[in-house]
Amino acid sequence: MTLKIDKAVRNGSTVISLMGRFEVGHIQELENLLGLQATGSVVLDLQEVRLADREAVKFLARCEAGGVRLENCPAYIREWVRKEKP
């Protein structure tokens, strides 16, 4: 399964929803998308993420440390992000 990315605006925040399998190969696309969101708050909605590899989790940890909010994060990913925070 590949990763599907949807973008929407909700309550003044840009919400980027990820669905499927999040792997290292998707990081560049998300970095580019996040780079375009220079103003306002950004939320990554992870409710539909089924699998994530280590590099993807490290990326999520960096995002959160940089102010991106992780929403609907599965428990196993949340714990892993906590351990990977820079």
Express each pLDDT in 32-52 by its tens digit.
988 876 567 999 999 999 999
Mention every residue, 6+ apart, whose C-beta is less than 8 A from residue 10.
43
* pTM of the model as a whole: 0.91
At residue 18, does pLDDT exceed 80?
yes
Summarize the chain as % helix, strand, coil (round to 5): 40, 35, 25
How many helices (H) and strands (E) the chain has is answered by: 3, 4
Q: For residues 46 and 28, what is the distance between their CA atoms, to the nearest angstrom?
A: 17
**What is the pLDDT confidence band of residue 85, given thresholds at 50, 70 and 90?**
confident
Please give the pLDDT value at position 38.
58
Q: Name the percent of the chain lying above pLDDT 70.
A: 94
**Residue 40 and residue 28: Cα distance in Å, rounded?**
21
pLDDT confidence of residue 75: 94
